[in-house]
């Protein structure tokens, strides 16, 4: 309610840490949240240890039946899981990964009509982008132009930095 009162159009809600952490419990949580606010809801689906609950593609498809659930940040860091999520629910709501390489893969595999035009929660712009080296901005601008070869080139710059600074932690299931 605070986000809505502040003028937000969307709230990102993580699955609850406590209470019934089952498929039915998660659905009830998001249904109750949808009844409490009149803005869009994005849920977080992750296998990262600090979250500890992965919403399956089938659960997400069921959540898409709630009118205001409109997006999912799919952060499993698994191309198999991301692909399954896109195949099951990508046509129902916006599925976004925080990783540019998954976004590019999604464009290639599922097409621009299914892929959202944004990335949710990429931390990379915070630690690898500057006015002199706008790697992430270059990537998104290329995607927006539909220039996938240029997006691939920008992605190579992003990955060179990410591999050095971030990937070793993600590989251990840490954020």
List, by residue number, the catalytic residues: 44, 73
Nearest one of 140, 145, 70 to 100, comparing CA atoms: 140
Cβ atoms of 45 and 60 within 8 Å: the answer is yes
Residue 174 burial class via C-beta count within 10 angstroms: exposed 0-12, middle 13-18, buried 19 and up: exposed
Give 11's strand partners.
41
- For residue 117, the tally of other CB atoms under 10 A from its CB is 11
Q: What CA–CA distance (Å, rounded) separates 75 from 120?
A: 9
């Amino acid at each position: 309610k605070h986000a809505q009162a502040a003028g937000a159009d969307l709230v990102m809600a993580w699955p609850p840490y406590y209470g019934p952490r089952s498929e039915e419990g998660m659905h009830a949580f998001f249904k109750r949240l949808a009844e409490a606010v009149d803005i869009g809801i994005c849920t977080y689906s992750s296998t990262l240890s600090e979250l500890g609950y992965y919403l399956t593609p089938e659960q997400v498809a069921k959540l898409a039946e709630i009118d205001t659930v409109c997006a999912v940040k799919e952060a499993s860091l698994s191309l198999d899981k991301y692909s399954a999520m896109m195949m099951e629910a990508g046509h129902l709501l916006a599925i976004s990964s925080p990783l540019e390489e998954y976004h590019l893969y999604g464009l290639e595999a599922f097409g621009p009509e299914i892929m959202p035009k944004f990335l949710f929660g990429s931390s990379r712009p915070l630690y690898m982008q500057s006015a002199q080296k706008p790697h992430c901005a270059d990537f998104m601008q290329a995607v927006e132009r539909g220039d996938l070869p240029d997006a691939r080139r920008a992605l190579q710059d992003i990955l060179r930095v990410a591999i050095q600074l971030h990937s070793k932690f993600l590989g251990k299931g840490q954020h």
